[in-house]
Amino acid sequence: MISKSSSRKHPEIKDICNLVDSELLFSLMNIHPNDDVESILPRSWLSWWHWAAEDMPADSGDALHDAFGTPQRWPIRYDLRQMVMYCEAVKFDLNSWGMSPKKAHEVLRLTTYIADLLCSMNLNAASVRIVDVGAGQGYLTRALKLYVGSRHLLALDSDDAQTRGAQKAEDKLRIRDGSITHKTVHITSQNLIQTVNEWIAEDTDSDDAPNMPVLFVALHACGSLTPTILRSLLEARRKRRRLRWTPIGVIAVGCCYNLLSPEADFPLSGAVRSARVGKPPLPSSAYHLAAQIPDQWARNAVTWQETSLAVRKVAWRALLGRNLKTLPAKLHGLNGTTRRMNEVPSDDSSNAVPKPLARVSCLGTTGTGNNHDMRRLGRLNHAAYASWDIFCSRASEKIGVSIHDYERDSQLERQLQILHVLRCLCGPLVESLFVLDRVRWFEEQLATEEPDDGPPLKVDLVNIFDQETGSGRNIAFVISPSRR
């Protein structure tokens, strides 16, 4: 019952696992620049750590920019160059193509792909019921209604404010033909099928239409939502004789790996479990690093400036953290604007609202750099990093302690910058492991199906968005009937 997952050869899971579990990469993911790196320095780092403290060209950023696409000319140590080349060789191909701006691009690309997929399945879009899981503001839902001709759509989201916003937009556009049903529900593997059952039962047009085809779509299936949709699809196939509808496939773009529940959703496949047998769980930071897209850093002068600023932020905050530890204890814990310990900034803008760190409960903070001092410092806007003096001045105002005379250790700064860059380079490899784990798991599940569970399915991984538009997560997980 297994169909080949794609015409393109995927990286080998065992090769990715071997690289992820190597001493160098695993230690890179475990240690953040905010940690006390100097006292816990792994032996495998000694050579490159000392090299990183050596004098470099005045503008080493430009040197890295010029050599980014050709690691053979990259002015770094041979062992690090080999690591970068190995990561590039075994990660999943993230070819990008496309349009802009970001959201319009994503909706257009996914809408077009869904229309083409339904056409390839010889299905009239008006006859297919579509469930938009994690619909948010309803951009994709409305596009499917207006431009693909879908007449019956179910938009699900866990945020009632998002649901109300989507309904308001539909009222403004006066969408009347057919139906868009909104439900606010926290989706789980247990209730997704029931939610679809209730939706179909409520539709008076479905009385005489058994075995209605249902397609699940998700533009941004955050965290565990993609595995949840896949489990629901398999369960619906097993129950299909008792349902009034038939699941025909899934198109889901996963994201926010830091919101995954490792206990339930990674690893999923027997293949990854076997390849990592006896290995420790991935550190918390691995799930955060999976969002990195270093292939886009050197795309143009603007993206390179943004990357340089991001690296500078990490290094300077880490340097400041070391200096804060030298304060007397009574000052080190003093701050009139200290955030509550369960709050952490999600970005580095000065006017953002603190959000609860919900993911800590399932992932922890190993290797993430989330510590007391960084929570005290909170978020600073880009202008605060214009110079070291300005940064120290803004930090002093924020934490209520004078730090204007703190020394800037240029050697340690370079070491921390390189550490951060190397950690980010691990990200695409980790994402590849997450994605391929899901593919292999789904194929394993199909292999256990009974003949009457439904027609054979195939799994494809499709590079559907253009990362240059800002769509960092561009891999669509596509399940559709096999043509064999």
List, as one string, the DSSP characters of 363-420.
Answer: H--TTS---HHHHHH----GGGGSSHHHHHHHHHHHHTS--TT----HHHHHHHHHHH
The pLDDT, as a whole number, for residue 404 is 65
Closest CA to 295 of 434, 461, 463: 463
- Letter string b/e over residues 284-299, b meaning 16 or more CB atoms within 10 A of that residue's CB: bbbbbbbbbbbbbbbb
CA distance 49 to 419: 8
CA distance 190 to 198: 14
Closest CA to 226 of 258, 189, 263, 262: 189
| N-terminal to C-terminal alpha carbon distance within the chain | 10
The pLDDT, as a whole number, for residue 1 is 36
Domain layout of the chain by residue ranges: 13-83+295-328+361-425, 101-276+427-481
Q: Is 186 exposed, middle or buried (0-12, 13-18, 19+ CB in 10 A)?
A: exposed
Q: Which one-letter amino acid corresponds to residue 37?
A: V
Three-class DSSP labels, 250-294: EEEEEECHHHCCHHHHCCCCHHHHHHCCCCCCCCHHHHHHCCCCH
Q: In whole angstroms, what separates CA 136 from the centre of its chain?
A: 17
The pLDDT, as a whole number, for residue 417 is 92
Residues in the chain: 484
The pLDDT, as a whole number, for residue 262 is 83
Closest CA to 478 of 262, 265, 215: 215
Q: Are 285 and 368 in contact (CB under 8 A)?
A: yes
Q: What is the DSSP letter of 241?
A: G
CA distance 256 to 30: 19
For the chain, which ranges sit under pLDDT 70? 1-10, 55-79, 92-103, 175-178, 204-209, 327-363, 404-405, 466-472, 484
Q: State if pTM tops 0.85.
A: no
Q: Are 90 and 432 in contact (CB under 8 A)?
A: yes
The pLDDT, as a whole number, for residue 173 is 72
The pLDDT, as a whole number, for residue 153 is 93
Q: Are 435 and 429 in contact (CB under 8 A)?
A: no
Task: Establish whether the linkage from the previous residue to 267 is cis, with ω within 30° of 0.
Answer: yes
Helix (H) or strand (E) holding 108: helix 102-120
The pLDDT, as a whole number, for residue 198 is 93
The pLDDT, as a whole number, for residue 88 is 73
Q: Are 71 and 65 in contact (CB under 8 A)?
A: no
User: Which residues 6+ apart lie within 8 Å of 482 measured at CB?
Assistant: 3, 455, 456, 457, 458
Q: Which CATH number fits domain 101-276+427-481: 2.10.109.10, 3.30.70.2860, 1.10.357.10, 3.40.50.150?
A: 3.40.50.150
CA distance 344 to 340: 8
